[in-house]
Amino acid sequence: MNWWKRLKNNNLARLGALILVVFYIAVIAAEFVAPYDPYVSQPDGALLPPTQIYWQNEAGQLIGPHVYPTVQGPVDLATGDRKLIVDRSQPSPLRLFVTGDEYRLFQIKLPLPTQFSLSAPKFQEIELFGGIPGNLHLVGTAGPAKFNLLGTDEQARDQFSRLVYGGRISLTIGLVGIAISYPLGMLVGGISGYFGGWVDTVLMRLVEVLMTIPSIYLLVALAAVLPPGLTSAQRFLLIILITSFIRWAGLARVIRGEVLSIKEREFVQAARAMGGRSLYIITRHVLPQTATYVIISATLAIPDFIVAESVLSLIGLGIQQPDPSWGNMLSLATNASILVLQPWLIWPPAILIILTVLAFNLLGDGLRDALDPRSLER
């Protein structure tokens, strides 16, 4: 376990792991962490700035953290400005663990394809777990005011709640994409390197063809032909399948090179002499020897899936409104007026994407250093 000690002593890797743990816990328990339903609009609450927290009432008395009901006023036809109307007669204390909208925590639903077709795919939504009913939220107000930590969007929906819910898609797509593409890449690379000959030639030519296709253009082209009637969950599944299809080729090529040297080792020759079947030898003896590289590569590849989803959603080909994802929340950056006048709508998803990609890279670099055979010998 010397590698584990080295990993724990790497401060940057620990920082990356801590960021990821916090993010994943938050999005898994999004119903509890988010104060409001991400699909519900607030009356007269469009494009509100982050709610200001007060500690003293109008008389100057210290009453603890509280907020006031705030709405957008009418538009000034002369200047185009909208002033905020703050009702200071109804202070609403901020509280932890407050009751609010009802939800089902940890509910799991999956859209499973029943007909594979780009023109008219069919899905059936399967509920794997009904969830735990509840109505308790991490933070909220004990009064009529709303606590919009990051303000509201143009549809008067709480931005922080949408950010937490949107992280489910942005953080899950990388893990699911790796779970699909890496086994495929390992299997193709293992078979190619182990058997050699015409099998190796055919598989490697296929890999080279896939690697010559620019991934972002292929993603845009395939996403553009998806039928418009798909729900975000169905579109999410298809995006994962598309990104996984073009991500396994590079891994297969590297695994093939690893297997070419591993298959000549004594333990593989012994397994072959004892009559072991080729597929058994590949999966039981050869591929496990590539685990170190695969773990490091997977950690560093997850950000690619996250960025791919963000780019597709940013240009309108990924997750569609009203369903939130960090990518389609960032698409508001294409509106110059929002970029200048409501920057609180742009910076949070951008910062979270940057932090997530950075955290995975820090953790991947830490794993690479910890699992380096040269460092393990010292």
Band the pLDDT of 123: cuts 50, 70, 90.
low
111 touches 124 (CB < 8 A): yes
119 pLDDT above the threshold of 60: no
Q: What is the pLDDT of residue 175?
A: 85
Strand locations in the chain (E): 54-56, 62-67, 70-75, 82-86, 92-105, 108-115, 122-129, 132-141
Q: Report the percentage of the chain scoring pLDDT > 90.
A: 13
Query: Residue 27 in contact with residue 168, Cβ under 8 Å?
Result: yes
CA 133 to chain centre: 25
Expressed in percent and rounded to 5, the helix, strand and coil fractions of the chain are: 55, 15, 25
In this predicted structure, what is the pLDDT of residue 117? Answer: 60
- What pLDDT does residue 21 have? 93
Span 187-215, average pLDDT: 85
What band does 311 get if pLDDT is binned at 50, 70 and 90? confident
Domain count, the chain: 1
Q: Are strands 108-115 and 70-75 parallel, antiparallel or unpaired?
A: unpaired
pLDDT higher than threshold 90 for residue 130: no
Give the domain CATH number at 350: 1.10.3720.10
Contact yes or no for 222/239 (Cβ under 8 A) = no
Q: Is 86 exposed, middle or buried (0-12, 13-18, 19+ CB in 10 A)?
A: middle
What is the model's pLDDT at position 114? Answer: 65
pLDDT at 374 over 60: no
Taking residues 224-240, what's their average pLDDT? 70
Tokens of 276: 């072991």
Q: What confidence score (pLDDT) does residue 338 get?
A: 80
| pLDDT of 376 | 46
Peptide bond into 343 cis (omega under 30): no
Give the H or E element holding residue 326.
helix 326-330
What pLDDT shows up at residue 137? 92
- Phi-psi label, residue 60: left if phi above 0, alpha if psi -120 to 50, beta otherwise: left
What is the share, in percent, of the chain residues with pLDDT greater than 70? Answer: 88
DSSP 106: T
Residue 210 or residue 229, greater confidence: 210
User: What is the domain range of residue 371?
Assistant: 2-376
Specify whether the CB–CB gap between 111 and 234 falls below 8 A.
yes
Confidence band (pLDDT; 50, 70, 90) for 33? very high
Position 118 scores a pLDDT of 55
Could you read off the pLDDT of 260-274 as tens digits, one per residue? Answer: 888 888 888 888 888
Confidence of residue 28 (pLDDT cuts 50, 70, 90): very high
pLDDT tens per residue, range 101-112? 888 888 887 766
Mean pLDDT over each residue of the chain, to the nearest integer:
82
